[in-house]
């Protein structure tokens, strides 16, 4: 018969500390990060050694997916609102206020003008379906042709915000011809300076860039 | 746990039919709160991003239809290197600009390998330009000039890799130019001559 009675200890763990840590981490993530922008297509960009970060504001984003479809977006809600109003006027699309607001809060669009009204009047789930099969915004190498709708988007967007910087986010497997059409469209509007969004890769050792990087580090 | 003593005092008179106030436990179990906290953290971890995407700045050469051919700056053959991007990530290159129709250049085939690839070819050519400068054949202002000509079967990734090689090898003067039918012929001839290359 056991002579010593085992002292019973409490099995309740005090969860206060854990709760504090959880909310601290949560506050960090809420303040230090930004939501990933909602994109109609997933694009895998090629990598480069360039470390220049994308500018914070006033960006015009032209997305090209691996099948060569072109999508267009700007980042400011107010600019988007006035842009869609100009597009409505220019092309006579008869968009309702609701549809224009839908555009203003949305992300990139990739539909030709004649399908824009039906695209904007659908709900987000239908829009996602649309995005899978859409042909993208028609582009051409000449800006004066009606085929080149991207030229119209770019021109009206720049009218609404002259400070817009152009960023091209294209998939690595996109055929060069589509990218060339976009670049030619930009050149026709006298835009010769733009950014290509790329992933980051390490500088290969033994090359000129690597030496430049190390020389900078040594001198510090 | 943070204890709040809200238990009712036990000093009421016992009347007929009054139940004795049961002393309820004041311990709050915070486990569900922690669960919620971690759920929210996981949500934010998946839907946000800490780093902004990186970009590569491109400056295309200024094009004005009114500028005449003869006024545009001429590139010297000895400092120039032409790189043609073709299908399956192939890179053809030759020295000079192929301006002379009687002597077609010899196209060499390579890939984007770290060794024996296009990078070594560019480094080689750069060394030779430096040697010419030291010999006095070229002035101090002349630098290796690379013309990048992507053909219709190349991909965007080839172009970005090539522009990246320019940055890696510190080539300051380069331009993306339309491929000419002559260059495409060169590619076809080289492909026919070497059908077994990978």
DSSP string covering A137-194, please?
A: ----S-TTSTT-HHHHHHHHHHHH-TT-EEEEEE-TTSBHHHHHHHHHHHHHTT--EE
* DSSP letters spanning A99-124: HHHHHHHS--B---HHHHHHHHHS-H
B34, A15: Cβ pair inside 8 Å? yes
Separation between Cα atoms, residue A169 and residue A163, nearest integer Å: 19
Look at residue B42 in the predicted model and tell me its pLDDT.
Answer: 94
CB-CB contact of B144 with A185 (8 Å): no
Pairing of strands A47-48, A34-35: unpaired
Compute the distance between CA of residue A168 and CA of residue A45 in angstroms, rounded to an integer. Answer: 10
CATH of domain B75-193: 3.30.420
B1–chain A Cβ distance below 8 A for any pair = yes
Contacts of B49 in chain A (CB under 8 A): 33-34, 36
Residue B38 has a pLDDT of: 93
Contact between B3 and B30 under an 8 Å Cβ cutoff? The reply is no
Place of tokens 């077609």: B104
Helix (H, G, I), strand (E, B) or coil at B85: strand
**Which pLDDT score, from 0 to 100, does residue B41 have?**
93
How confident is the model over B33-78, as pLDDT tens digits?
A: 899 999 999 999 998 888 778 888 888 777 666 655 555 567 777 8
At B68 the pLDDT is 57
Q: How far is Cα B189 from Cα B185, in angstroms, rounded to an integer?
A: 6
Burial degree of B181 (CB within 10 A; 0-12, 13-18, 19+): exposed
A192: which chain B residues are within 8 Å (Cβ-Cβ)? 59-63
Q: Check if B106 contacts A (Cβ < 8 Å).
A: no
Minimal-distance CA residue of chain B relative to A28? B41
Q: Is B164 on the interface with A (CB under 8 A)?
A: yes
pLDDT by residue, tens only, chain A of 220 residues: 667 788 888 887 888 888 999 999 999 999 988 887 777 778 888 888 888 888 878 888 899 988 888 888 888 888 888 888 888 888 888 888 888 888 888 888 888 888 888 888 888 888 888 888 888 888 887 777 778 888 888 888 888 888 888 899 998 888 898 888 888 888 888 888 888 888 888 888 878 888 888 887 776 5
Q: What are phi and psi of A148, to 5 degrees?
A: -90, 85
Nearest CA in chain B to A32: B50
List the single residue in B with minimal CA-CA distance to A20.
B34
Paired residues of A199 in beta bridges: A47
ipTM: 0.80
CA distance A149 to A61: 15
User: CA nearest A27 in B: which residue?
Assistant: B41
Query: Which bin fits B94, alpha (ψ -120 to 50), beta or left (φ > 0)?
Result: beta
Check if the beta carbon of residue B109 is closer than 8 Å to that of residue B94.
no
pLDDT of residue B44: 92
Question: Which secondary structure element, helix H or strand E, spans residue A60, and what is its range?
Answer: strand A59-64
| DSSP H or E segment with residue A39 | none
Q: Strand runs (DSSP E) across B62-194, as ranges?
A: 80-85, 91-95, 108-110, 145-150, 173-176
| C-alpha to C-alpha distance for B67 and A122, rounded to whole angstroms | 49
- Which residues, numbered 28 to 87 in chain B, qualify as contacts with chain A under a Cβ-Cβ cut-off of 8 Å? 29-31, 33-34, 37-38, 40-41, 44-45, 47-50, 52-63, 85
pLDDT of amino acid B1: 47
Cα of first residue to Cα of last residue in chain A, in angstroms, is 76
Inform me whether the pLDDT recorded for B179 exceeds 70.
yes
């Amino acid at each position: 018969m056991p002579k010593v009675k085992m002292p019973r200890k409490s099995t309740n763990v005090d969860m206060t500390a854990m709760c504090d840590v959880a909310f601290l981490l949560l506050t960090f993530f809420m303040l230090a990060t930004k939501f990933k922008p909602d994109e109609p297509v997933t694009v895998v960009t090629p990598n480069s050694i360039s470390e220049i970060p994308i500018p914070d504001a006033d960006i015009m984003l032209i997305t090209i997916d691996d099948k060569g479809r072109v999508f267009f977006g700007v980042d400011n809600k107010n600019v988007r609102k006035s842009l869609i109003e100009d597009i409505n006027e220019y092309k006579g699309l008869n968009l309702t206020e609701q549809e224009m607001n839908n555009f203003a809060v949305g992300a990139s669009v990739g539909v030709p003008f004649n399908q824009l009204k039906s695209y904007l009047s659908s709900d987000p789930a239908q829009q996602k379906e649309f995005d899978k099969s859409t042909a993208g915004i028609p582009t051409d190498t000449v800006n004066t042709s009606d085929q080149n709708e991207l030229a119209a988007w770019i021109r009206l967007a720049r009218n609404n915000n002259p400070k817009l910087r152009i960023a091209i986010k294209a998939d690595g497997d996109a055929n060069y011809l589509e990218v060339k059409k976009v670049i030619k469209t930009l050149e026709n509007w006298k835009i010769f300076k733009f950014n290509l969004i790329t992933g980051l890769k390490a500088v290969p050792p033994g090359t000129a860039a690597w030496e430049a990087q190390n020389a900078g580090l040594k001198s510090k | 746990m943070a204890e709040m003593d809200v238990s009712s005092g036990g000093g009421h008179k016992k009347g007929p039919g009054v139940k004795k106030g049961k002393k309820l436990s004041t311990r709050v179990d915070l486990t569900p709160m922690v669960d919620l906290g971690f759920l929210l953290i996981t949500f934010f971890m998946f839907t946000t991003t800490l780093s902004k995407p990186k970009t590569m700045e491109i400056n295309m050469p200024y094009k004005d239809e009114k500028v005449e051919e003869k006024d545009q700056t001429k590139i010297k053959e000895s400092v120039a290197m032409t790189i043609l991007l073709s299908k399956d990530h192939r890179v053809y290159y030759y020295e000079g600009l192929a301006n002379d129709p009687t002597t077609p250049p010899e196209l060499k085939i390579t890939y984007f390998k770290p060794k024996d690839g296009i990078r070594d070819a560019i480094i080689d050519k750069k060394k030779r330009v430096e040697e010419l400068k030291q010999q006095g054949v070229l002035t101090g202002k002349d630098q290796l000039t690379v013309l990048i000509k992507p053909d219709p079967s190349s991909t965007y990734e080839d172009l970005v890799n090539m522009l990246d090689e320019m940055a890696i090898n510190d080539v300051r003067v380069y331009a993306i130019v339309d491929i000419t039918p002559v260059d495409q012929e060169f590619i076809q001839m080289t492909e026919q001559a070497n059908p077994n290359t990978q």
